[in-house]
Amino acid sequence: MRRPQLSQLVAALVGGLIAAGALVAVGFRRGGSPARTVIDELPVGAPGSSGFSPQRIYARDAAGVVYVVAKVVEETTSPFDPFPTRQSGSETGSGFIIGSDGTILTNAHVIDGAVRITVELANGTVLPATVIGKDPDDDLALIKIDPSGQTLDVLPLGNSSSVAVGDPTVAIGNPFGLQRTLTTGVVSALAREIQAPNGFTVGNVIQTDAPINPGNSGGPLINAAGQVIGINSQIQTAGSSGSIGIGFAIPINTARFVIPQLEQHGKVIEGYLGVATTSVTPALASLDLGASSGALIESVASGSPAARAGLRASTRTVTLADGVTQLKVGGDIVVSIDGHAVRSDQGLESAIIRQAPGTTVTLGIVRGRRRRSVTLTLGTRPESMSAAG
């Protein structure tokens, strides 16, 4: 049921920085910068008087953060040369150890297209890594090293559902190749949406003002207790090549759901509905649509389970009283699934992707202010948004 990003943020190419105001994945093309440990000074106004100690967190967790180097071979074609040209390079990023067996969590875009992956531990040991599985929809990947002869520092995982705006955060990673750099900040917003490299939307994302830069991708976002609450993935830019204080981390609870499937199948097998939705906000509800909350269907993918079941998309655009805000209305509003209330677009998404393909579900919908039920069979999540139709 993953849907295309509907906000004004723009997806980034892996390892690249694009136009002003864009959302970018924070992988990094390796250059000649020397690797060294850097601890940024605690920003003025950061919570340092209530038990929050970046120094203690760094001392305990930094050794569990690894430096990931992915050798990538790209083929380019030219109208003047009938044969493709192969070019090799290295994409670098971060990861962190989640198992004493050598299992490491990182971003999928850090290792995308890699023909060889190496991991450098805190003690300087460089080891080859193999891919266990990738989930491009959530921009997550599991890789593994042979732990023989190594003492691995496993990072404790927290609960991203208990995170609140204003909570202190620590990011540890390898920005611009500067290994195990620490930056601090706070959780600046919750329930954000970002666009994964394959075009699908990642929901419930944590926003932080802890400085995150190219090379931080795949590194941990850590709470005051030293537990991982997210995986740093993207930044919002304003024409600069680095952080302006808006970074995004995939919530660790998303990873908790994904990891067992990656370990078992090498990929995530999720249910698929085939709709793009938006939450029914108070502004939408004020238009007397028949529902005060839920997921308003804005578009329906051709040939999808939703299309076969006759679900309807928004048919017209309205302008609110402010004369500026435009909203699409007229589509079905999903208010429940199998009797459980759906209060937002992310609520619908979470409910669908946790169902196995082939599962029959009953959706409660509001159509033209009248409530009705629609029963349908979920499909299998496509590999990319373009394949979703």
- H/E run at residue 306: helix 305-308
Least reliable range by pLDDT among 5-9, 45-49, 63-67, 272-276? 5-9
User: Does the pLDDT at position 165 exceed 70?
Assistant: yes
**CB of 245 closer than 8 Å to CB of 211:** yes
Structural domains in the chain (count):
2
Q: Which of 236, 265, 294 is the endpoint of a domain?
A: 265
Please name which of 64, 70, 35, 13 lies closest in space to residue 220, comparing C-alpha atoms. 64
The predicted model gives 312-321 an average pLDDT of: 80
Do residues 257 and 311 share a domain? Answer: no
Q: Which of 265, 283, 318 is the endpoint of a domain?
A: 265
Query: One of 112, 139, 332, 345 is an active-site residue; which one?
Result: 139
Does the annotation mark 217 as catalytic?
A: yes
Task: Provide the pLDDT confidence category of residue 227 given band limits of 50, 70 and 90.
Answer: very high
Do residues 330 and 253 share a domain? Answer: no
Query: One of 94, 160, 188, 217 is an active-site residue; which one?
Result: 217
Q: Considering the entire predicted model, what is its pTM?
A: 0.71
Do residues 331 and 251 share a domain? Answer: no
User: Does the pLDDT at position 12 exceed 70?
Assistant: no
Query: One of 94, 109, 137, 209 is an active-site residue; which one?
Result: 109
Tell me, what's the pLDDT at 15?
34
Q: Do the domain assignments include residue 191?
A: yes
Q: Which of 221, 241, 265 is the endpoint of a domain?
A: 265
Residue 115 Cα distances to 73, 112, 289, 306, angstroms: 7, 9, 52, 38
Do residues 247 and 324 share a domain? Answer: no
**CB of 109 closer than 8 Å to CB of 197:** yes
Do residues 239 and 321 share a domain? Answer: no
Do residues 191 and 327 share a domain? Answer: no
The predicted model gives 210-232 an average pLDDT of: 93
The predicted model gives 353-368 an average pLDDT of: 92
Q: Do the domain assignments include residue 280?
A: yes
Do residues 189 and 230 share a domain? Answer: yes
Range of the domain at 281: 271-388
Tell me, what's the pLDDT at 120?
95
Task: Provide the pLDDT confidence category of residue 41 given band limits of 50, 70 and 90.
Answer: very low
The predicted model gives 356-385 an average pLDDT of: 89
Tell me, what's the pLDDT at 78?
58
Least reliable range by pLDDT among 140-144, 347-351, 385-389? 385-389
Q: Do the domain assignments include residue 177?
A: yes
CATH number at residue 333: 2.30.42.10
Task: Provide the pLDDT confidence category of residue 384 given band limits of 50, 70 and 90.
Answer: low
Does the annotation mark 109 as catalytic?
A: yes
